[in-house]
Chains A and B, each alone.
Chain A
Amino acid sequence: MVGPNGGGKSTLLKIIAGLLRPNSGEIFLNGKLVEKNHELRNLVGFVPQVGVINQTMPISILEFLELERKLNGASDFTPIMKRLGLDHIKDRTLRTLSGGEKQRVLLARALVRNPKILILDEPATGLDSTGQDQLLGIVRDLQKESEGILIIVDHNLGQVIKMADKLICLNKSFHWHDYKKNLSKEVLTKAYHCEFEHLLIHENDGALLEHHFCDGNHQHEEDS
């Protein structure tokens, strides 16, 4: 899932995860109408952006994952910890971890639930390039093994196009979604560009170009 900031990506993710009810429209899962939010919540493993975790509490990685296991009646999570390289730091508290480690802990928590749908909200945010590569490597492995659905929001367009089977591009005024062969990198770049250009126009108080509503045809770009 790609698109500029404020395009509604996180909102859509929360709707898919059953954390929000849509104002309009319905949710279908494998062709079946979903009526209750908790039907979705039980299926979803959600990896939020790192900032949501409260920094006051000195909760250790082990306690954090154990909490998730107890509430969901899941099985032993030692293999998950080993796999994500958390085994040797399992007694450290979350607030002492680096950004990359925190992100892996959040991923581990989502995996403890053994989810049918794994959702990652901008997992690479705040990570250095090594951290990003590591994390995306893990995600790619998961993608290969798992039969479930993996939804990822990311701004690294090249990376996303390589990895994804399907893409959806959200932007304030419209969205595209289709098989990725129809959604070239060029189109995606334009979706970002569109927002960016509007910003420029507003900043220059309309001096740059006449302002016109973006209806998705990107005409104004060609005009200039």
Chain B
Amino acid sequence: MIEAVGPIKRKFAPWDDPTLKPFIRFENVTKRFGDFTAVDNLTLDIYEREFFALLGPSGCGKTTLMRMLAGFEQPTEGRILLDGKDLSGIPPYKRPVNMMFQSYALFPHMTVEGNIAFGLKQEGMDTSNINTRVAEMLELVKLEKFAKRKPHQLSGGQRQRVALARSLAKRPKVLLLDEPLGALDRKLREETQFELMDIQMELGMTFLIVTHDQEEAMTVSDRIAVMNHGIIAQIGTASEIYEQPASRYVADFVGDINLIDGTVTAVDDDNVTLHCAGVDATIVAEAGAGEVAVGAEAGFAIRPEKVQISLEAPPAGTPNVLSGEVWDIGYLGDISVYRVRLAGGSIVKATVANLTRIVERPITWEDKVYLTWPADAGVILLK
């Protein structure tokens, strides 16, 4: 069982408050390695006490961005501000940020205690204070019994905790977490995600996490920046990113999505009409980000869980209906995924929550089915 600690989470949205100054600011930051541009003219604000995630596939520049904040890399152009102060020229060992490394980077020749105390010793803190702080940290990560062990005598999860305690020990203004849970198994990872959130709340620090795991980013963070090829594709809360993806890239990277291509035939205040010749259908939906004009090539994006699947044809005149036959069924326990083959041969996925312990499904292979969805369930995204 996990015990709830710390205050109950309240709504927290400093980015919506125009009077607040950002705590960390990346200002037109570019980083090139030879011919390769890892970060491309990127500007990003992160607020105090925020739990911020950088999400993207490997090579998207998220780790480079974090390493520039830690001071391991220097921006080719632009600058990074922390609490209003320009960090350029300040070496890593003088920056008030600490990092938890993906590999944990625990000092193998030091005990757990020694690892946690390392940063404090560099500060010149006196021994009794160091001992108190180390004890606190050990308690925080529940490793009191392992203080005298060396890293190689610990399990993966325990090592992860030592790394966390070490990076927190100095009470940095900002904690950087580089794929912190990547090496843990799924169960432990989920538990630890919530623990991280509790610790962040309790210590009131700013956390910046780098991850390629969208679930992790969505679970722990207040806001997520989805990165692609050195630029930010979208910034927003987890639900904003998921429900209102700004681009096909974001829609595709975060969660599962169905994309149906077509041509815009009409645009009014709220809705866009899309003619999808490939599947022989017309779809009306809200426009996503960007100006949508008549005649533009666009796509309709909808999450599989928002698609309803039915054996019976909806009443005539119901908008947004697709029909096809069940091609494949995936049973995942909590849900089942239906892969429906449309007229033109393209596949649309629909997920259905398995609410009962039925063995026989009402809808099965080769059934002719109708797919419908609420008017605001999907979004039109430009190509």
Real binding pair: no
Q: Give residues in A with beta carbon < 8 Å to B.
A: none
